Homo-oligomer: A and B are copies of this chain.
Amino acid sequence: MTISRSICLGFLALITAGTLLLMLPFSHSDGHWGILSTALFTATSAVCVTGLSVVDVGQYYSGLGQFFIALMAQVGGLGYMTATTFLLLLLGRKFRLRDKLAMHQSLDTSGISGMQHLVKSIIGMTLMLEILGILLLLPVFEPDYGLGQGLWMATFHSINAFNNAGFGLLSNSFMDYATDPLLNVAITLMIILGGIGYQVLLELYLWGRDRVSQKPIRFTFSLHFKIVTSTTLFLLFLGTLSFFLTEFNNPATLGTLTVGEKLIAAWFQSVTTRTAGFNTVDLSQMTTTSLFLTIAFMFVGASPGSTGGGLKTTTLRVLVMCTRAVLQGKEEVLCYQRKIPMSLILKAIGGVMASLLTVIVATILMSLAAPTQEFLPVLFEVVSAFATVGLSIGITAQANLTTQLILVLVMYVGRVGVLMLMSALLGDPAPSTLHYPEEDLLVG
C-alpha cells in the first residue's frame, strides 16, 4: 500500500471510530443515542481539526463526549503533523549537512526506528507546548469556573488551540474574553506554534540550544525556516492591519473598543484565520470586506508539517517568487539566494489548482443544495471547511443533510489534501522513460 493510501485510509478509520464513540449514549449530556449525521459531522470536524460544528459542543456533549472530541483532535492533529513531516522529509528531500546531522535519527534511517524517533520527538514537543498552554490558560478560567472545571477548560482549549482544531466549550467561542490579554496571548501563541510546523520548531530549538551553550559555530536556519517564518509573520501583520482598518468603525465588532483593544482583537482575528477557528468578535457582523479578507487568509492557511490546513505558506511563497522571476525576466526562481527546484514549483501549481478546483466545485454543490443562501456565507463556509479553519458565519448551524455531507467531504478532502487523495486513488505512478521534444506556445 502506498503512503498516501495509508494516510487517506487512516483518517477514514479515525473518523469511523470517532463517529461510533460519539453515537454512544454516555457521550451526550441528555444520555440518548446520537444522530448519525451529527456524530459523523463532529467526528470528521474533530479528526480533521476543523472545528465546524452543527451543535453546541459544550451543551450537546457530556464530559466524556468532550473528552472524545479533544482526543480525536489530538490524534488527528498529531497524526497529520507526523505523517506529513515524515512524508515530506522522506520523499527525496535534500537538506544541508548541518540539518542532516541534527535530524539524522529521523531522516537518514528511513525505517521503523527513524519513524519512532520522529513520533517521539513530535509527541514530546506537542505535550510540552500544550502543558505550557494549560498553565497560561488556567489563570484565565479558574476565577470564572473554579479549579476543576477551569482545569478542564484550560486543557480542552489548549489542545484545541495547538492542534488548530478550534472546538470551544463556550457557545460564542472566546467573545467574552475578547480583551483579556492573557487569553489572547496564550491562545494565539498555541495557534501559531501549532501551525508553523515541526521543522521550524525543531530548528528554533536547535538554534536556542546553540545560543545557550554558546557554540562557536552558530546554527544556520534552512531555507524552509526562513520562508515559513517570514511568510507567516508577513501574513499575520497584513491580517492584523487589514482587520484593524476595515473594522475600526464597525460598532458590532471593533467599533466600541479602545485602540489598544482593537489591535488585540484584530491580531486575534488575523491569527485565527491561519487555520485555528476560534473567534473573539462576532464574525457574522463583520463587513463584507473583512469577510472576503478572512476567506483569502483562510485559503492560504498554515505551514506544512503542522496541524494547520489550507494551501500552505510555502506554496504561496513559491508562487510569489515565480511571479517575481517572471517580472525580472529570469528563468531561475530564487529565494534567499537559493534556487527553487522545478519539482517544487510544479507541486505548488498542483496544490493551488487542486485547492481552487475543490473550493469551486464544493461552492457550486453547496449553492445548488441551498439555493436561497447568499453567496458570500457559502463561499466562507466552504473555504473554512476546506482549509480546516472552522470559522463560521452561520451556514453550518443551518445546514441540511445534503450540505452537512458536502461539508464533511470538503473537510476530509481539505485535510488529507487533494493531491494526496488523488494520488491515493490513482496509485503509484509508473516511471516513464519516454522523452518528448519541447515546443513553445503563446501564453498570456
Query: Residues of A at under 8 Å CB distance from B?
Result: 88-89, 93-96, 197, 199, 222-224, 227, 246, 287-289, 291-293, 296, 304-305, 312, 314-315, 318-320, 322-323, 325-334, 337-351, 353-354, 360, 363-364, 367-368, 371, 373-376, 378, 417, 419, 422-423, 426, 428-429, 431-432, 435-444
Q: Using Cβ atoms and an 8 Å threshold, which residues of chain B touch A327?
A: 350, 419, 422-423, 426, 429
Q: Could you tell me if B296 and A439 are in contact, using CB atoms closer than 8 angstroms?
A: no
Query: Nearest B residue to A306 by beta-carbon distance?
Result: B442
Complex Cα gap A305–B288 (Å)? 37
Q: Using Cβ atoms and an 8 Å threshold, which residues of chain B touch A437?
A: 338-339
Complex Cα gap A90–B348 (Å)? 30
Complex Cα gap A438–B342 (Å)? 10
Whole-angstrom distance between the Cβ of A29 and the nearest chain B Cβ: 37
Whole-angstrom distance between the Cβ of A85 and the nearest chain B Cβ: 8
Complex Cα gap A246–B344 (Å)? 38
Which residue of B89, B338, B371, B444 contacts A351 across the interface (Cβ within 8 Å)?
Answer: B444
**Main SS class of interface, A:** helix
Q: Given A227-B441, A296-B360, A444-B315, does the pair A349, B367 have CB atoms closer than 8 Å?
A: no
Q: Could you tell me if A326 and B305 are in contact, using CB atoms closer than 8 angstroms?
A: no
Complex Cα gap A254–B432 (Å)? 48
Q: Could you tell me if A364 and B289 are in contact, using CB atoms closer than 8 angstroms?
A: yes
Q: Could you tell me if A375 and B292 are in contact, using CB atoms closer than 8 angstroms?
A: yes
Mind listing 23 A-B residue pairs with CB under 8 Å? A95-B440, A199-B442, A223-B440, A224-B440, A287-B367, A288-B374, A289-B371, A292-B363, A314-B441, A315-B443, A327-B423, A328-B432, A329-B428, A331-B346, A338-B436, A338-B438, A338-B439, A339-B437, A374-B375, A374-B376, A376-B376, A417-B444, A419-B444
Q: Could you tell me if B364 and A293 are in contact, using CB atoms closer than 8 angstroms?
A: yes
Query: Nearest B residue to A438 by beta-carbon distance?
Result: B339
Whole-angstrom distance between the Cβ of A111 and the nearest chain B Cβ: 21
Q: Using Cβ atoms and an 8 Å threshold, which residues of chain B touch A342?
A: 331, 342
Whole-angstrom distance between the Cβ of A153 and the nearest chain B Cβ: 34
Q: Could you tell me if A443 and B375 are in contact, using CB atoms closer than 8 angstroms?
A: no
